[in-house]
Amino acid sequence: MPAPTLKQQKTFAVVRIVGGFAAAAVLGYSFITNVLAGQPAEGPVLLTGVMALLGLGYAAYYTRNLGRIAEAEKQRDQS
């Protein structure tokens, strides 16, 4: 199976970035509304907050990956 092209890699990275931000937004909203409603930040509520942070980390990782792909594409175009 051939390696994905740079365009395919960019598309996959953008989809993962959007997915990570969407998950972080939904989970972060749930965490904040639960805490503001008076729920203690422990147990399942705390895990929801942790998962929101993991979603942001996932999006950040693929944002960095997208930057590397853009650099590779720029170097390819300059050659």
The verdict on residue 73 lying in a domain is yes
Residues 5-57: tens digit of each pLDDT: 989 999 999 999 999 999 999 999 999 999 999 999 999 999 999 999 999 99
20/22 Cα distance (integer angstroms): 5
Closest by Cα among 26, 18, 7, 5 to 63: 18
User: Is 63 inside any structural domain?
Assistant: yes
Residue 24 lies in a domain: no
pTM of the model: 0.86
**Residue 54: which domain range?**
42-79
Q: Is the pLDDT of residue 79 over 80?
A: no
DSSP 3-state of 59: helix
Q: 2 lies in a domain?
A: no
Q: How confident is the model at residue 64 (pLDDT cuts 50, 70, 90)?
A: very high
Domain count, the chain: 1
